[in-house]
Structures are given as structure tokens and as C-alpha cells.
A and B are shown apart, each in its own frame.
Chain A
Amino acid sequence: MTDLMTHKIRIATTSLAGCFGCHMSFLDIDERFFTLCEHVVFDRSPFTDIKHLGEHVDVGLIEGGLCNAENVSTLREFRDHVKILVAVGACAINGGIPAMRNHIPLKECLEESYLVAVGIDSPQIPNDPELPLLLDRVRPIHEVVKVDYFLPGCPPSAEVFWTFLTDLMAGREPQIPEAQIHFD
């Protein structure tokens, strides 16, 4: 399970319908990042700004659920290219805060945000063809692709990332201890 050139584990990361909080929490491993970089190399990720996945990626970390068509195609690209797909954080696992719109019809959500809310000038619902189309409901990623591991938390603490990654680097089956399991 290694990069062909460097014998390092290749990791890709992305944020779909998330807030980047999970990525920030990942960075909270602080100086342990140096140790990590001795063993892993980052592929597509906001850390590298690489836009598409390479051929042989070992681990894909997905933050955020699915709220639009682009989220779905990104998730599928990850599933097609990575060996181990990981749902990171509450939004990837159950839709999270964005899914709180799910019982309100999409039309009403858009009207509330862009037409009737206070303080709006030139009210109009954005419809530029560049904008990805919204899904009628926000979905967790396991409803669309197979997910291999789940790291709960909003966000998962740095310790959760570290447990998962050190288990992986040591070739152990990742196991999150009870004390590190949190849904908030």
C-alpha cells in the first residue's frame, strides 16, 4: 500500500458540503505533521491544490456531505481512485448541519435566502450555468458510495485523525477508542 516512487502512503482529501472545520482539525495534529510527512504524501487536497486524483491513491478523506451535483461527481472520482475511502466528520456521516434544510422544500430555501430575507438588494436566485445544481436533499456519502471507515465528530479531534493515521501507517486495522468517539 505505497506510492510507487517514494514508497509512501498517498492520501487525498476534499471538502464537499462541509465547512473546512475537519481539515482545520486535521492540521491540529501540529508538529506531528512532520512525522506524518515522513510516511505519507498528499495527492489531490486543499493542502496541495492538486485538482484531480492521480492513479494510485491509497486513502481518500472526505469531509462534508452531498448538497450539489459537483459534490457527487467529486465523491465518485474519489471512490474510483482510492483504495480506502473515509467519511470524516458529522456532515459526511449523516449530512450534518447542512441537512437541517432537508425537511424544507428546495424552492422555499432558495426563495428565503435570495428573495425574501432581510437586507437583500437586487433579489434573484442565482442560475449561472457555472454553478453546480443543488440536490433536493443533503445526503451523507454512504448513501451514494461504499465507505470503508468513519471518523465521527464535529469536527473529529486531532487525536481521532492521529489514531486513524498511525494505525494505518503501522499496518493495523484502524480502531477509534470509545473515549475519542464524539458526535459533536
Chain B
Amino acid sequence: MDQKTLTIDGVELSFDPRQTIMEAAAAAGVYIPHLCHHPDFKPHGSCKLCTVKVNGRFASACTLPAAEGQEVLNKTLELNQLRTRITQMLFVEGNHFCPGCEISGHCKLQATAYGLGMLDSHFPHFYPARRVDASHPDIMLDLDRCILCELCVRASRDMDGKSVFGIAGRGMESHLVVAAESGALVDTLIEVSDRAAHVCPVGAILIKHTAYEKPIGQRRYDHHPIQAALLQEDQGD
């Protein structure tokens, strides 16, 4: 049987025809930055961090199927500068005060920023007023840090079968909502054992009583090179 191949940054790799470019890359040990992609869930294609150039055109690696002979550019200065600007936008449109954040050191947004060499926020900060919901006994919701990746939406709907989370509003008004008349997390069906409670890549959905358990220096991304850590998670969390 003929092995199908494509190239990423000039290096040839073989792939399975059912794979996306992101999946083919991860299987071959090539890191493509991403935030809304997670190997366990259907691609969403919303954060655009995984933007690559395929045969000269921009495309999202997490949604584009791998195809024979594709020439993919990934780790170029141009693409990483674009990704840095996208990451900076995610920082300024929410309220990300890492020094006071429970998830700091374990956060994929922060780790991605480090990996891109991001030193500043570049844009003016919005400092929006966002909701904090501490109503649930085990789970905390801090929308200051939500990047609208919809991983919790997908996990709750497709894995937990509960559809606890959804996105309401459009554009700048988009925000995460929970399925309860009162709007409070405690009145939803979510439980601490749900996948949706653990899938958030940032510090927006937190498990209570677990904050700051690991001291600085022992957290997930403290010493592990970020790209290797993220890649390892994608190949089997």
C-alpha cells in the first residue's frame, strides 16, 4: 500500500487519510501551536492559533484534512508573529493577571505565550467587567479568563451528555453561559467528576480546594519545554 506523505517545514512525514494536518503533525512529533484543539474532541477551528500555510495559503491545521503532497509551513517567523498577535489579543480582551491566578504555571494560554516568546501585550487592555460564579460547592467559574475555546461546551455536550455550557451573544458580546434558569453553576447538572470540569485550558473553570497545590518550580510548564509538554499531552495527555 502506498504511504501518503506531506511536508511540514520541508520535512516529509506520512499520514493516515482520516487525519487533519494537526493530527498528522502531532503523530509525527511536530508541535503546531493551538488552544481550541484537543485530541479528544471534534475540531472547532476558532482560535486560529494553529494557522499554517498550506501550498502558500493560510489554513487552520486543526480543521484542514491532511492530503497528499501538501507543503505546509509551520515554524516560520511570519506565522509565529501572527500567532503572537492573536495570543496578545486573547490576553487584552480578558482579565489575565497571572501573578494572582490559580492556574498559573499549568495554563496553556500562558505556556503558549512563553513558547512564542511573547513579552508584552502590545494592544491596549480592555479590562472588561466579567462574571465570577462561586455558587457551586466544587467548581468555580471565573469568566475573566475565558477565551471562548468551547472545549467545556464540547465536553459537556459530547462526553458528559449534559450540555451545561453554551456561548451566548455575538462578537465582542460573546460570553459563556450555563444551562440554568438562575444562571448559576450550582443549578446545573455539572459534577466535579465531569470531563467538562477539567478540560478548560485556562483558569476559567477551576476545581475548588486544589489551587496552588504545586509550588512554583514544580508546575506543569515550569521547566518542561512548553512545546514538548503540549505535544506529549496531544499524543495521549
A93-B99 CB under 8 A given contacts A178-B115, A183-B110, A184-B105: no
Q: Which residues of B are found within 8 Å of A140, using beta-carbon distances?
A: 121, 125
In this assembly, does A99 line the interface, its C-beta being within 8 Å of a C-beta of chain B?
yes
CB-contacts of A150-177 with B (<8 A): 150-152, 154, 176
- Interface pair B120/A184, CB less than 8 Å apart: no
- Interface pair A103/B127, CB less than 8 Å apart: yes
Interface 1/0s, chain B 108-126, versus A by CB < 8 A?
A: 0010011101111110110
Q: Which residues of A are found within 8 Å of B119, using beta-carbon distances?
A: 93, 149-152, 176, 181
Q: Which residues of B are found within 8 Å of A184, using beta-carbon distances?
A: 98-99, 101, 104-105, 216
- Interface pair B125/A94, CB less than 8 Å apart: yes
Q: Which residues of B are found within 8 Å of A94, using beta-carbon distances?
A: 91-92, 96-97, 120-121, 125
Number of residues of chain A lying within 8 A (CB) of chain B: 29
In this assembly, does B100 line the interface, its C-beta being within 8 Å of a C-beta of chain A?
yes
In this assembly, does A143 line the interface, its C-beta being within 8 Å of a C-beta of chain B?
yes
Query: In the complex, which of the residues A93, A97, A184 has the most CB atoms of chain B within 10 Å of its own CB atom?
Result: A184
Docked pose: A182 CA to B217 CA in angstroms: 11
- Interface pair A154/B127, CB less than 8 Å apart: no
- Interface pair B115/A147, CB less than 8 Å apart: no
Within the complex, the shortest CB–CB distance from A175 to chain B, in Å, comes to 9
Docked pose: A90 CA to B104 CA in angstroms: 13
Interface 1/0s, chain A 97-141, versus B by CB < 8 A?
A: 101101100000000000000000000000000000000010110
Within the complex, the shortest CB–CB distance from B78 to chain A, in Å, comes to 19
In this assembly, does B172 line the interface, its C-beta being within 8 Å of a C-beta of chain A?
no
Q: Which residues of A are found within 8 Å of B99, using beta-carbon distances?
A: 90, 96-97, 154, 183-184
Within the complex, the shortest CB–CB distance from B114 to chain A, in Å, comes to 5
In this assembly, does B129 line the interface, its C-beta being within 8 Å of a C-beta of chain A?
yes
Docked pose: A47 CA to B100 CA in angstroms: 28
- Interface pair B120/A152, CB less than 8 Å apart: yes
For B91, the closest partner residue in chain A by CB is A94
For A103, the closest partner residue in chain B by CB is B129
The interface residues of chain A, by DSSP majority, are classed as mixed
Chain A residues in the interface with B (C-beta under 8 A): 87, 90, 93-97, 99-100, 102-103, 137, 139-140, 142-143, 147, 149-152, 154, 176, 178-179, 181-184
Within the complex, the shortest CB–CB distance from B93 to chain A, in Å, comes to 12
Q: Which residues of B are found within 8 Å of A178, using beta-carbon distances?
A: 114-115, 117, 225-226
Q: Which residues of B are found within 8 Å of A151, using beta-carbon distances?
A: 119
Interface 1/0s, chain B 146-165, versus A by CB < 8 A?
A: 00000000000000000000
Within the complex, the shortest CB–CB distance from A56 to chain B, in Å, comes to 27
Query: In the complex, which of the residues A96, A137, A139, A152 has the most CB atoms of chain B within 10 Å of its own CB atom?
Result: A152
For A95, the closest partner residue in chain B by CB is B125
- Interface pair A100/B100, CB less than 8 Å apart: yes
Within the complex, the shortest CB–CB distance from A41 to chain B, in Å, comes to 27
In this assembly, does B236 line the interface, its C-beta being within 8 Å of a C-beta of chain A?
no
Q: Which residues of B are found within 8 Å of A176, using beta-carbon distances?
A: 117, 119
Within the complex, the shortest CB–CB distance from A107 to chain B, in Å, comes to 15
- Interface pair A99/B121, CB less than 8 Å apart: no
Q: Which residues of A are found within 8 Å of B113, using beta-carbon distances?
A: 181, 183
- Interface pair A154/B120, CB less than 8 Å apart: no
Docked pose: A151 CA to B118 CA in angstroms: 10
Within the complex, the shortest CB–CB distance from B91 to chain A, in Å, comes to 7
Query: In the complex, which of the residues B97, B101, B216 has the most CB atoms of chain A within 10 Å of its own CB atom?
Result: B97
